[in-house]
Amino acid sequence: MTDTTIRKSVFLAADKPRVWDFLTKTDLLTQWFHPAQSDLSEGEDYLLTSQKDGDRMCWGTVEVMKPVDYMKWSFTVGPMQGKMSTVEWWLEEAPGGTRLTLEHSELPNSPDGYGLVLALDKGWHGFMGNLHDLATAPAPA
């Protein structure tokens, strides 16, 4: 059986510490992704909720944090019925900013799971666009 993986990469005109904050800090996660219950910390569970009604959207555990270079989460959403997948983030210095790469692996590899993978791919695409817009805006004074 092969693994189904989503890969996305975006250039952000922001330094790695600023991008890292967007990936880990509650107030910044809320702006581009989903509200978090708390800042993300290695070894801790996380829960991201809907901005509209507070329902849980995705959850798991922050497995590895290597500030400001790499982070790995276990990750699930309701339609996955408790099966965990893996989300990894790489931050690399690039001229004028940071290249952020996302890899979401261990996704369903079945005809029934195809729609979920397409929805996750579309979601990540939109969220990375949100992050691009926010992280490249001037930092507040």
pLDDT tens by residue, 35-58: 999 999 999 999 999 888 888 999
> What percent helix, strand, coil does the chain show, rounded to 5?
30, 40, 35
pLDDT tens by residue, 62-81: 999 999 999 999 999 999 98
For the whole model, what pTM was predicted?
Answer: 0.91
| Number of DSSP helices (H) and strands (E) in the chain, helices first | 3, 6
Question: Domains of the chain by range and CATH?
Answer: 4-135 (3.30.530.20)
- What is the reported pLDDT for 140? 64
- What is the reported pLDDT for 94? 97
Mean pLDDT of the chain: 93
Q: Around Cβ 59, how many Cβ atoms within 10 Å?
A: 18
- What is the reported pLDDT for 98? 97
Whether the pLDDT of residue 129 is over 90: the answer is yes
pLDDT tens by residue, 8-37: 999 999 999 999 999 999 999 999 999 999
pLDDT tens by residue, 106-126: 998 888 788 999 999 999 999
